[in-house]
Amino acid sequence: MSSVSSACHAVLIKRGLTTVQGSPVYLSYYNNLISTLILIPLIPLSGEMNGLSKLLSGQGTKTFIFGVGITGVFGFFISLASFLSIKVTSPVTHMISSASRGVLQTILAVWLFGDVMSQGRILGIILIISGSVLYVYAKERNTESNFEPPERMEGMLEDGKTGSESV
């Protein structure tokens, strides 16, 4: 379900870019603003009002506000990077690169932190790498078949005119 919603999100981002004249910065800003407005009413509905009031009234207020600010800035830049990726490629290419990035993160987690690799996790990595390689191969073949070498420019003079044109 996560992959389906992520893929739909990528397609909607590609369409949404036309709404903001192709600006990933504006789209990221509006995306974060609208998400914040939607999530604020969920605080009391989820029963987190007491926890939030303790954070805002206790000793950890500065730490909380600083943490929220840092998280917001980095979240904005991550969103911006994703939107730029979708703008210059396609939603499918973005999803393939995101999955490959996840594989790299998993390998780093195993190497640096000793995370455990289950059979399912290994199978998932193999599937992602195989699919990514096949996607790149298919895109390369498609690019090669669409490439037409420029025709020879026989009979052209230096100024771009042929010798048969009248002066």
Cα–Cα distance between 24 and 29 in angstroms, integer? Answer: 8
Q: How far apart are CA 115 and CA 106, in angstroms?
A: 8
pLDDT in tens, 15-25: 999 999 999 99
Asked if residue 74 and residue 1 are part of one domain, the reply reads yes
Does 99 reside within a domain? yes
| pLDDT tens track for 112-165 | 999 999 999 999 999 999 999 999 999 999 888 877 666 654 555 555 555 555
Tell me: do 50 and 76 sit in the same domain.
Answer: yes
Looking at the 3D structure of the chain, how many domains does it have? 2
* Lowest pLDDT segment from 7-21, 68-82, 135-149: 135-149
Q: Are residues 95 and 73 in the same domain?
A: no
Sequence letter at residue 12: L
Q: 95 and 110: one domain?
A: yes
The boundaries of the domain holding residue 120 are: 90-147
CA distance 136 to 93: 9
Residues 84 and 97 in one domain: no
